[in-house]
Amino acid sequence: MKKKLTAMILAAAMLLSACGAQPQTTQPATTAAPASTEAATDPVKENTEAATTPYAGENIQVGGRDAVGTNAVVSTGREDATQIGLDILKNGGNAIDAAVAIGFALGVSEQQSSGVGGGGFMTVRFGKTGEVVFIDFRDRAGAGATLDRWEVDENGKVKDDANKIGALSVAVPGEVKGLLYALDTYGSKDRKEVMQPAIDLARNGFEVSHITSRDIKDAYRNLIKFPATVAIYLDQDEMPWEAGAILKNPDLAHTLELIAEQGEEVFYKGEIAEKIVAAVQAEGGYLTMDDFASYEINVTEPVHGTYRGYDIYSSNLPSSGGTIIIEMLNILENFDVGAMDPESAEYFHLLSEVFKLGFADRAAYMGDPKFVDVPVEGLIDKEYARQQASRIDMRKAGSYEAGEPAPALQPQESASTTSFSIMDKEGNMVTVTKTVDATFASAMVAEGTGILLNDTLVDFSVDPESPNVVEPNKRPLSSMSPTLILKDDMPFMTLGCPGTTRIITGVLQVITKVIDHKMDLQEAIDAVRMHDDFGTLILERRVPDEVIEALKSMGHELNTGEVWFTFPCIQGVIRLSDGSFKGAADPRRDGKALGY
């Protein structure tokens, strides 16, 4: 009785929080010695050592995130996954082998953000040919997905959050098919070798970081609803795991072993699909075996633009990220951004206006290109950007409707989250952003699999007039933006991040700080971050008061509640002038780069 009462109190407390979570095991995990709870007095703590547990309460540990290598550099959101990728490279694997190994590993140690129950995107540049490829393994709605599956009120809110939590939020996962396609097509190592580190990580366990523990606590009120989830993410007393505990997931280890032995067939047509479908249907969902068997990835070209002489390659539809980033960069080209102080009111104001223009177009035009005509070429046209730039008043904040780009082209052949980047001396560049959607997603684990199921259907609009309205077999719009940048046909930088629409603004800010302000990549990632999509300028509280007052005087509505944003969290690699590589990782999360 005491245990249940404590759980109820914690669940009520979590209603006042707002974030997400991380993994464990079907059997209660062994608990390691807890991390120190001694509070630091400074909100920014300099740490020059490797940052294995970088987050403690309000304290962000800066330093020890970046790394330089002459052969290759990897940057991910978890040091264990970064090390796995680097080991693959050291043992003769190529960048794709490393990316696939990292992808499966992050699905274990950062399962609140991604995993085989989700999907994502991969942008790749091959050093030998210079070819750039975009692999879309975004989750897809089932054949039974229709708007009337949810009860929607007059304010557009779905009753009981059924599009966010539980079986009616789950789409067909794409990650297994996407990662294995990349490995089979472009990799050099076999499945078992590449997947074994993730299997070992699931079976032997990993240390819970402060961020993981925080995420479990924030998602507690949803996790406690599902017994198979409780068995993995809560301790013996059905309470959140604390930092320092060792989380094991033997069911997930077994699932990964089946995939390593049998390939994608076991996931999409075999016993894993059967268990997922059974779990979803038992909770009132509608996914079927046919939905899994018919799932396909899309391999296309990325969207391409330029910015001040640099070539930008980023995510194509159904992600809006690449198109909107390039549109925003095109608008910024009409201003002397490099002459602006990157922590000035002038700079933040300009970015705010550019962001609002881009997001207005995103809402009006973007959706799955197999269902709607999207004017991609019009949106990334330089002349259209000049028209958009002319709408900006540098003295006051504006409010914008969507612009009028060139007419839509025919549909092209065809966004918690995690992102990682790899570059090597052969000229290969890989950046991946993948997700189960919200932190801890649907909160459902399919019994006997260890798989946390996505809540990707929440990314659809419930407005029947939206180009992104839910429809059968449709992929929802995303903001994921795995991005590659070249200079004079040579690798320059890879980057990506989690964070819903903040992905777009986060990636853009790092690009402009590196190109316009000549910042070191780690410095650009650490710099003050902002966001604005539809009228509230959200700004990290690390700027002088006079900057805040100047923005208010321009008419901006401000939110400066966070010293450091929770998201977005950038992982990137840049090629240095001497031909070596530098990886950088975001202190806002558990990120770490390694090189050799």
pLDDT of residue 115: 92
What is the pLDDT at residue 137?
Answer: 95
Main-chain phi, psi angles of 324, to 5 degrees: -75, -35
What per-residue confidence (pLDDT) applies to 62?
82
HSE on the CB side for 181, CA within 13 Å?
Answer: 20
Please give the biggest Cα pair distance in the chain. Answer: 68
Q: Which of 563, 328, 319, 295 lies closest to 419, judged by CA?
A: 319
Predicted local distance difference test score (pLDDT) of residue 534: 75
Range of the domain at 524: 300-415+480-595
CB 572 within 8 A of CB 75: yes
pLDDT of residue 225: 94
Q: Which residue has the tokens 């933040």?
A: 348
Task: Kindly state whether residue 565 falls inside one of the protein's structural domains.
Answer: yes
The pLDDT of residue 282 is 95
Question: Are the beta carbons of 181 and 296 closer than 8 angstroms?
Answer: no
Residue 248 lies in a domain: no
Structure tokens at 196: 């074994």
Alpha carbon 413 to its chain centroid, in Å, reads 24
Residue 496: which CATH number?
3.60.20.40
Instruction: Answer yes or no: is 183 within a domain.
Output: no
Domain count, the chain: 1
Q: Which of 53, 82, 212, 417 is catalytic?
A: 417
> Which pLDDT score is estimated for 373?
83
Q: What's the sign of the alpha-carbon dihedral 494, 114, 272, 201?
A: positive
Contact 424, 72 (CB under 8 A): yes
Q: Is 357 helix (H, G, I), strand (E, B) or coil?
A: helix
| Tokens (6 digits) for 92 | 């003769």
- Whether 512 is in a domain gets the answer yes
pLDDT of 406: 52
Q: Is 30 a catalytic residue?
A: no
**Nearest alpha carbon to residue 459 among 158, 23, 221:** 158
Q: Residues of the chain whose pLDDT is less than 70?
A: 1-59, 404, 406-416
pLDDT at residue 507, as a whole number:
93
Q: How far apart are CA 536 and CA 550, in angstroms?
A: 15
pLDDT of residue 10: 52
Task: Please tell me the predicted confidence (pLDDT) of residue 394.
Answer: 93
Burial letters 152-176, b for 16+ CB under 10 A, else e: beeeeebeeebbbbbbbbbbbbbbb
Tokens of 405: 């780009």
Residue 385 is assigned to a structural domain of this protein:
yes
382-386: long-range pairs with CB below 8 Å, 24+: 382/330, 382/333, 384/327, 384/330, 385/327, 385/330, 385/331, 385/333, 385/334, 386/334
Which residues neighbour 95 within 8 Å (Cβ) at sequence distance 6 or greater?
72, 89, 124, 422, 423, 424, 426, 428, 429, 430
Provide the whole-model pTM.
0.85
Q: Is 32 within a domain?
A: no
Task: Please tell me the predicted confidence (pLDDT) of residue 514.
Answer: 97
Whether residue 272 is contained in a domain is answered as no
**Residues making up the chain, counted from first to last:** 596
- Domain membership flag for residue 550: yes
